[in-house]
Structure 1
Amino acid sequence: MHKTKEIFINGFALFSMFFGAGNLILPPFLGKNAGSLWFWVTIGFFITAVFIPMIGILAHAKLQGTMYDFGKKVSPTFSLIYCFVVYTICIALPAPRTASVTHEMAIAPYFSNSSSLVTSTIYFGLVFLFTMNRSKVLNLLGKFLTPLIIFILLAIIFVGFFTAPDMITPTTLKAPFVDGLLEGYQTFDAIASIVVGGVLVISMNFNTNTTFEEKKELITKAGFIAGIGLLIIYAGLIYNGVLFSSTFSESANRTEILNSLSNQTLGNIGSVFLSVLVALACFTTAVGIITGTADYFKGISNNSQKIFTVTAIISCLLGIAVGQFDVKYIINIALPALMFIYPITIVLIVLNVLPEKYTSTLVFKSVVAVTFLFSIPDFLGFIINPNYLVEIKNNIPFANQNLGWVLPAILSFVFSNLIKSKKQIPTE
Structure 2
Amino acid sequence: MRFNKETFVAGFALFSMFFGAGNLMFPPLLGLKAGDAWFMVTLGFVISAVIIPLLGIFAHARLQGTMLDFAKKVSPTFSLIYCILVYLISITLPSPRTASVTHEMVIQPFFGTSAWLTSVVYFSLVLLFVLNRSKVLNLLGKFLSPVLFIVVLSIICIGVFSVQNPVINPSEFKTPMIKGLLEGYQTFDAIGAVVVGAVIIISLKIKGENNFIRNRRVIISSGIVAGMGLLIIYSGMIYNGALFSTQFETNVTRTELLSGLSFITLGKIGKTFLSILVGLACFTTAVGIITGTADFIKGLFNNSQKVYILTAVIACFLGVLIGQFNVHNIVTIAIPALMFIYPITIILIVLNILPNRFTSPLVFRAVVVVTIMFSIPDFFGSIGMQKFISPILEILPFGKYSLAWLIPAIVTLILMNVLSYKKDKTIS
Are the structure 2 counterparts of residues 6 and 117 from structure 1 closer, same or farther at C-alpha, using a change threshold of 3 Å? Answer: closer
The correspondence of residues 375-386 of structure 1 with structure 2, limited to 5 A, is 375-385=375-385
How many angstroms does 1:215 deviate by? 5.2
Q: Is residue 94–residue 188 contact of structure 2 (8 Å, CA) maintained in 1?
A: yes
Give the 3-state SS of the residue equivalent to 2:66 in structure 1. Answer: coil
Are the structure 2 counterparts of residues 294 and 339 from structure 1 closer, same or farther at C-alpha, using a change threshold of 3 Å? Answer: same
Which residue is 1:295 aligned to? 295
How many angstroms does 1:306 deviate by? 4.4
Give yes or no for the alignment of 1:242 onto 2:242.
yes
Which residue is 2:41 aligned to? 41
Q: Aligned letter for 1:124?
A: F
How many angstroms does 1:278 deviate by? 2.1
Q: Is residue 377–residue 389 contact of structure 1 (8 Å, CA) maintained in 2?
A: yes
Are the structure 2 counterparts of residues 400 and 315 from structure 1 closer, same or farther at C-alpha, using a change threshold of 3 Å? Answer: same
Which residue is 2:178 aligned to? 178
Which residue is 1:400 aligned to? 400
Are the structure 2 counterparts of residues 417 and 73 from structure 1 closer, same or farther at C-alpha, using a change threshold of 3 Å? Answer: same
Give yes or no for the alignment of 1:251 onto 2:254.
no
Q: Is residue 254–residue 328 contact of structure 1 (8 Å, CA) maintained in 2?
A: no
Which residue is 2:125 aligned to? 126
* TM-score, normalised by the number of residues in structure 1: 0.91
Deviates more, 1:114-123 or 1:92-101: 114-123
Give the 3-state SS of the residue equivalent to 2:110 in structure 1. Answer: coil
Which residue is 1:83 aligned to? 83
Deviates more, 1:269-278 or 1:38-47: 269-278
**Per-residue Cα deviation, 1:53-109 (whole angstroms, up to 9, x for no partner):** 111111111112111001000000000000100000000001001001101110122
How many angstroms does 1:371 deviate by? 0.2
Which residue is 1:73 aligned to? 73
Which residue is 1:144 aligned to? 143
Q: Is residue 10–residue 141 contact of structure 2 (8 Å, CA) maintained in 1?
A: no
How many angstroms does 1:289 deviate by? 1.6
Q: Is residue 22–residue 186 contact of structure 2 (8 Å, CA) maintained in 1?
A: no
Which residue is 1:410 aligned to? 410
Which residue is 1:92 aligned to? 92
Are the structure 2 counterparts of residues 345 and 404 from structure 1 closer, same or farther at C-alpha, using a change threshold of 3 Å? Answer: same
Q: Is residue 138–residue 284 contact of structure 1 (8 Å, CA) maintained in 2?
A: no
Give the number of aligned pairs: 426
Q: Is residue 100–residue 120 contact of structure 1 (8 Å, CA) maintained in 2?
A: yes
* TM-score, normalised by the number of residues in structure 2: 0.91
Distance across 2 between alignment mates of 1:208 and 1:134: 16
Are the structure 2 counterparts of residues 4 and 286 from structure 1 closer, same or farther at C-alpha, using a change threshold of 3 Å? Answer: closer
Which residue is 1:273 aligned to? 273
Which residue is 1:307 aligned to? 307
Which residue is 1:155 aligned to? 154
Q: Is residue 145–residue 277 contact of structure 1 (8 Å, CA) maintained in 2?
A: no
Q: Is residue 130–residue 290 contact of structure 2 (8 Å, CA) maintained in 1?
A: yes
Are the structure 2 counterparts of residues 386 and 176 from structure 1 closer, same or farther at C-alpha, using a change threshold of 3 Å? Answer: closer
Q: Aligned letter for 1:146?
A: S
How many angstroms does 1:146 deviate by? 1.4
**Structure 2 unmatched runs, 5+:** none
**Per-residue Cα deviation, 1:245-270 (whole angstroms, up to 9, x for no partner):** 12223322112211111111011223
Cα-Cα RMSD: 2.6
Matched residues, percent identical?
A: 58
Are the structure 2 counterparts of residues 208 and 343 from structure 1 closer, same or farther at C-alpha, using a change threshold of 3 Å? Answer: closer
Distance across 1 between alignment mates of 2:354 and 2:151: 38
Q: Is residue 8–residue 225 contact of structure 2 (8 Å, CA) maintained in 1?
A: yes
How many angstroms does 1:121 deviate by? 2.8
Q: Is residue 12–residue 225 contact of structure 1 (8 Å, CA) maintained in 2?
A: yes
Q: Is residue 99–residue 324 contact of structure 2 (8 Å, CA) maintained in 1?
A: yes
